[in-house]
């Protein structure tokens, strides 16, 4: 099935559905008025054709992209002004039976009430009154049987209806603003709740599930645009000794100091998360193996400057890192496993260092403190 609104925004689609519904209602009104003898058949036919032409023109302007060059209120105002001119033309051709046609002015104003502010709607109401009055008095000048008092009565009735609708439009606008604000607040609360759920309560960095989802997205992005991607497995050294010597509270302080120092050492685009206990993962987008080793060494040095109560002769924190660069077609599990292998080599070599593995799986780089 053809999609006639491809490329349109959701707002344009909603407005088009509303306008199309208004055109259908107006056409049915003209047909029923003609069937009941309240409007001439020729007038009803011309009105329906003119409505179809107006709808087609509006569609063409939106589909061509011209409507995107003007604001939505300006475009809607243009549609309403064109509709008022059409109704004035029909009023001037309707002969002596004019009673049903003013109802279509109200229909056009309803369309504007849902989309325009009070000031713009009041200006368009004035346009509607002037065009309708002009159509009526042109009919009288051509010898129509419509009496001037009847014409003024129609204009007065429209004036009262328009005045109420302009007033109601203000209330509708305030209600829409409140609903929009409530929607924004709910959206912000949902984002905040999701952010909190994805964060580790103690350290404030991302939890394992979020990290795996983020790594999958970064792998897909790297393969799509052909950019490098690396990860670093990080292990905080000596946390068990801190807990044994000073209690878990001191270990929690050490973890928080570690994550703060690590986050400061990484770029804004890098992602740090806690895998479990004292094990962490850093995702380094747009970074090859050499750059990842540099970033890992910078992180290791920053952590090494963090003070720590003396535990077995140690006065500062330290960490050990294993680094791996993503290979094309490699999934998250294999990439993390290679970084884990580098971490194991670094631990075996004495900790407090960075190790990366080459394509054969042997240690390529070892940086010592």
How far is the C-alpha of 185 from the C-alpha of 193, rounded, in Å?
12
Contact 322, 232 (CB under 8 A): yes
pLDDT tens by residue, 242-253: 888 888 888 899
Cβ-defined contacts of 110-115 (< 8 Å, 24+): 110/22, 110/165, 111/18, 111/19, 111/22, 111/76, 111/79, 111/80, 111/83, 112/76, 112/77, 112/80, 112/169, 113/165, 113/168, 113/169, 113/172, 114/18, 114/172, 115/15, 115/18, 115/72, 115/73, 115/76
* Tokens describing residue 61: 């302007």
Per-residue confidence (pLDDT) for residue 231, from 0 to 100: 96
Q: What is the pLDDT of residue 31?
A: 86
pLDDT for the residue 312: 66
Provide the pLDDT for residue 195: 63
Helix, strand, coil percent content, the chain, rounded in steps of 5: 65, 15, 20
User: 229: which strand partners?
Assistant: 285
What's the pLDDT tens digit per position in 299-347? 999 999 988 766 666 678 999 999 999 998 899 999 999 999 999 999 9
Contact 72, 115 (CB under 8 A): yes
**Region 255-269: what's the mean pLDDT?**
93
Q: What per-residue confidence (pLDDT) applies to 144?
A: 66
Task: Quickly state the pLDDT bin for 237 (edges 50, 70, 90).
Answer: very high
Give CA–CA dist 97/94, Å, rounded.
6
Average of pLDDT values for 97-105?
Answer: 71
Higher-pLDDT residue of 161 and 220 is 220
Provide mean pLDDT across the span 83-108. Answer: 76
Report how far residue 100's alpha carbon sits from residue 71's, in angstroms, rounded to the nearest whole number.
33
Asked whether residue 1 carries a pLDDT value surpassing 50, the answer given is no
pLDDT tens per residue, range 166-187: 888 878 778 878 888 888 888 7
Least confident window among 52-56, 83-87, 95-99, 228-232: 95-99
What is the model's pLDDT at position 177? 81
Structure confidence at residue 74 as a pLDDT band (50, 70, 90) = confident
Residue-level pLDDT at 365: 64
Mean pLDDT of 43-69: 83
What is the per-residue pLDDT for 2?
47
Task: For residue 96, name the pLDDT band (cuts at 50, 70, 90).
Answer: low
pTM score, two decimals?
A: 0.53
Residue 349, token pair as written in the block: 């070599």
Does 359 have pLDDT greater than 70?
no
Percent of the chain with pLDDT over 70: 90
Q: Does the structure show a pLDDT above 60 at 148?
A: yes
Specify the long-range contacts of residues 338-346, CB closer than 8 Å, at least 24 apart: 339/231, 339/232, 339/233, 339/281, 340/233, 342/233, 343/233, 343/234, 343/235, 346/320, 346/321, 346/322
Kindly indicate the confidence band of residue 225, based on its pLDDT and cuts at 50, 70 and 90. Answer: very high
Q: 45 pLDDT exceeds 60?
A: yes
3-class secondary-structure state, position 252: helix
Q: Identify the CA nearest to 246 among candidates 302, 308, 290, 293.
A: 308
Of 73 and 281, which is predicted with more confidence?
281
Q: Which helix (H) or strand (E) holds 367?
A: strand 363-368
Q: How many CB atoms lie within 10 A of CB 38?
A: 16
Question: pLDDT at position 201, please?
Answer: 83
> Residue 293 corresponds to which tokens in the numbers above?
């080793």
């Amino acid at each position: 099935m053809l999609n006639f609104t491809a490329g349109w925004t959701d707002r344009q689609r909603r407005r088009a559905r509303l306008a199309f519904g208004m055109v259908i209602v107006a056409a049915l009104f003209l047909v029923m008025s003609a069937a009941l003898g309240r409007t001439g058949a020729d007038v009803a036919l011309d009105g329906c054709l003119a409505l179809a032409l107006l709808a087609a023109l509006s569609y063409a302007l939106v589909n061509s992209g011209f409507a995107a060059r003007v604001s939505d209120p300006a475009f809607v105002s243009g549609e309403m002004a064109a509709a008022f001119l059409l109704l004035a033309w029909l009023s001037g051709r309707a002969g002596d039976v004019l009673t049903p046609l003013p109802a279509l002015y109200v229909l056009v104003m309803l369309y504007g009430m849902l989309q325009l502010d009070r000031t713009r709607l009041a200006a368009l109401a004035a346009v509607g009154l002037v065009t309708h009055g002009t159509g009526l008095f042109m009919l009288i000048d051509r010898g129509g049987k419509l009496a001037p008092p009847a014409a003024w009565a129609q204009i007065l009735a429209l004036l009262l209806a328009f005045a109420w609708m302009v007033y109601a439009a203000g209330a509708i606008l305030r209600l829409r603003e409140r609903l929009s604000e409530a929607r924004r607040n709910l959206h912000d609360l949902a984002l905040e709740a999701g952010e909190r759920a994805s964060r580790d309560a103690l350290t404030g960095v991302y939890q394992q599930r979020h990290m795996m989802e983020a790594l999958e997205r970064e792998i897909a992005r790297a393969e799509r645009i052909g950019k490098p991607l690396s990860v670093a497995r990080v292990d905080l050294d000596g946390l068990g000794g801190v807990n044994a010597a000073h209690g878990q509270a001191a270990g929690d302080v050490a973890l928080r100091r570690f994550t703060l120092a690590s986050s400061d050492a990484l770029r804004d685009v890098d992602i740090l998360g806690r895998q479990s206990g004292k094990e962490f993962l850093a995702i380094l987008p747009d970074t090859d193996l050499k750059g990842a080793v540099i970033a890992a060494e910078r992180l290791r040095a920053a952590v090494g400057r963090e003070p720590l109560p003396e535990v077995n002769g140690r006065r500062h924190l330290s960490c050990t890192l294993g680094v791996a660069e993503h290979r094309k077609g490699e999934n998250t599990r294999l990439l993390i496993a290679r970084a884990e292998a580098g971490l194991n080599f670094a631990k075996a070599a004495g900790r407090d260092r960075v190790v990366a593995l080459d394509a054969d799986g042997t240690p390529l780089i070892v940086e010592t403190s």
